[in-house]
Structure 1
Amino acid sequence: MGFLHGIKTVFLGSATVTAPCAPVTPLVLDRPEGPRHCLLGIPTAAAAGKRPLVIVLHGAGASAEQVLGMAFPPSPLSVWLEIAEREHVIVAAPDAGKGGWSECFAGAAQVAKKDDVAFIDAIISHAVAVHNADEERVYVIGVSRGGWMAYRIAMEIPQRLAAFSAVLAGMPPRSHPMQPRVPLSALIVGGTGDRLIPYHGGKHWYALGFMEPVNSIEDSARVWRELAGLPDTPDRTGIPRRHPLDKTCAAFTLWGRDPGQLQVGLIRIDGGGHAEPSISRRYPGLINKMVGAQNGDFEIAEIAWDFFRHKRAARPAAQDLQQA
């Protein structure tokens, strides 16, 4: 049994689900580029009021099904369905579709063909109108290229969000025209052993022409911290290690002490590769060999929810409402 379990872990990974998950239903929205697809996780309990909305963005080559745990390989972000059922949160997982996301590195021509920010904006409007989502509690989390998409959403429609998280994704360098102008709470996560998106910025030599140079993970967090006007006096805490033999370890740096106000968080995973941290959803060993080690000390979805849960979108000031 141990040998067979080891073989399965190497080739298939593992997913341990110990709590009820919100049921998933499909959504199709007509967009200028054609029908767009999304999966919605709606908690089974009747809503006592408006519910938070979390938009989960998959990485390159993946899908809405994969990121919600319905396709190979097991995704750590599928834990959001457990959170949805437990915390009465609506989860939306859109599909990038052909060509992937038109994210923060996409050119104007690509965006003109497929405006994914407008697609996400339409999902938010649908969730508010049909499922009683709370407009003041909309959050976005994306991994890898989905993290790049999360940056673009945060830069282009920050008024629609209360906070966002980019996992395993450095934002464009400061010399790039795509830069934020409006402060927003941000949780940035990266691993120093990431073999696809370098923690310290730039790009790996073997990426050739397949990807743009990125800002470092730490400077990506610094951009949002400076924009928020938060002093560089963070709280730093080590995340407890669960397995002494694990070659990775993580630490959480947080700027801003009031969870209901602007905060910027940075999770640095020393030795961590291009794999979202998770205790319960473990990537196959062969994938870890290719992209780097997966940390198993915490659930990225749970720590992101803790970061999101008390934050609300800023309301327009009274003078802005009078001028509108």
Structure 2
Amino acid sequence: MTAIQSVLFLLLLAPDPLGPGDHTRTLTVGNIERSYIVHVPPNYDHDKSSPVVLVFHGGGANPQSMIRFSGMNAKSDEAGFIAVYPAGTGRFEKLLTFNGGNCCGYAMRNKVDDVEFTSQLLDDLATVVNVDEKRVFATGMSNGGIITYRLASELSERIAAIAPVGGPMGTQTCNPKRPVPVIHFHGTDDENAPFKGGKGKGVSGTDFYSVEHSINAWVKANGCNEEPVVTKQQPKIDDGTSIIRKTYGDGKDGAEVVLIEIVGGGHTWPGGPSRVRFLGKTTKNISANDAMWKFFQKHPMN
């Protein structure tokens, strides 16, 4: 086979690039078939590299429910990043979890390697869209937030920054190869993953680490100031919540750790479209999507 024939053969084997819209991809990781949904925004240009935001669903949820819960597709369309919704594993098709360390469910009990899954997902994604490898970010709700912390620790060479929502670290320590900026959103009245740690009302039975543990671990790992700059935001909407922003700056390579403390907030997505009463109050005084995207833009990988 000539060189030209070899190139043509490889081109024939290469998957077709994805255009705007929603697409489901599958891959096999450790003998387990895994999947994820890719949302490509309308203004996507395959000739230009695009940032990627991985959006991990909570425990007992799935990518489709996370799309509705977070409203992240609308932010993707507005800002121009590619939104990716990984699917966890479980005995039931739509009740899925990720192995974040001490949580949760099927994935934890079966020691599913969700770090390797994410790594292979990123490899697969790069075959169908033009990924800016310096701007791959991760966010997630609850169990999805917990797995973002694990990715920041164990896949720091590929994850530029993270934005966990209502999900603390699931490990005692973190050991990133490089500083990973963190913006963490958490309601003080979260009864599922309690702000101060311990067992919540959820069915997982997890004894959660506290938000303080998570923040302190990453302040140390990123070499940030131990004392934060505290800003209290005046409520714009009288919904029983208020916002306190704690910024730990001056970290290595410009890294910082930010805690968005939602006073009165529940186990919910700040500014999100979904309001589930038994999860507590959803603040409208800040948009997690807007705040994290602004943070992500500030912190591409060096």
Larger RCO: 1 or 2 (CA < 8 Å, sep 6+): 1
Q: What secondary structure, in the 3-state scheme, does the structure 2 residue paired with 1:28 have?
A: strand
**Residues 172 and 62 (structure 1), Cα distance of their counterparts in 2 relative to 1, 3 Å cut:** closer
1:104 aligns with 2:101: yes
Query: In structure 2, how many angstroms separate the alpha carbons of the residues matched to 1:112 and 1:26?
Result: 25
1:191-211 per-residue CA deviation (whole Å, 9 max, x = no partner) reads 11111111011224x56x832
Q: TM-score, normalised by structure 1?
A: 0.77
Query: In structure 1, how many angstroms separate the alpha carbons of the residues matched to 2:155 and 2:176?
Result: 11
Query: In structure 2, how many angstroms separate the alpha carbons of the residues matched to 1:243 and 1:128?
Result: 41
1:254 aligns with 2:247: yes
Is the Cα contact below 8 Å between 2:100 and 2:108 reproduced in 1? no
Matches within 5 A, 1:170-185: 170-172=168-170, 176=172, 178-182=173-177, 183-185=179-181
Name the counterpart of 1:62. 61
1:278-320 per-residue CA deviation (whole Å, 9 max, x = no partner) reads 1x6141xxx32x2221111121111111111132224xxxxxx
Name the counterpart of 2:27. 29
Is the Cα contact below 8 Å between 1:33 and 1:114 reproduced in 2? no
5+ residue gaps, structure 1, are: 1-21, 70-74, 315-324
Q: Select the residue among 72, 85, 91 that pairs with 1:93.
A: 85
Is the Cα contact below 8 Å between 1:138 and 1:162 reproduced in 2? yes
Is the Cα contact below 8 Å between 1:104 and 1:151 reproduced in 2? no
Q: TM-score, normalised by structure 2?
A: 0.82
State the Cα distance separating 1:104 from its structure 2 match.
Answer: 2.0
Query: In structure 2, how many angstroms separate the alpha carbons of the residues matched to 1:23 and 1:64?
Result: 15
Deviates more, 1:60-69 or 1:234-243: 234-243
**Residues 301 and 163 (structure 1), Cα distance of their counterparts in 2 relative to 1, 3 Å cut:** same
State the Cα distance separating 1:112 from its structure 2 match.
Answer: 6.5
Q: Select the residue among 195, 209, 221 that pairs with 1:199.
A: 195
Percent identity over the alignment? 25
Name the counterpart of 2:52. 53
1:166 aligns with 2:158: no
Query: In structure 2, how many angstroms separate the alpha carbons of the residues matched to 1:277 and 1:110?
Result: 27
Is the Cα contact below 8 Å between 1:237 and 1:252 reproduced in 2? yes
How many residues matched?
Answer: 275
Name the counterpart of 2:182. 186
Query: In structure 1, how many angstroms separate the alpha carbons of the residues matched to 2:209 and 2:229?
Result: 23
Is the Cα contact below 8 Å between 1:189 and 1:217 reproduced in 2? no
State the Cα distance separating 1:241 from its structure 2 match.
Answer: 1.7
Name the counterpart of 1:126. 124
1:179-232 per-residue CA deviation (whole Å, 9 max, x = no partner) reads 33443111111111111111011224x56x832322221331121012111113
**Residues 139 and 111 (structure 1), Cα distance of their counterparts in 2 relative to 1, 3 Å cut:** farther
Q: What secondary structure, in the 3-state scheme, does the structure 2 residue paired with 1:170 have?
A: coil
1:274 aligns with 2:267: yes
Name the counterpart of 1:226. 220
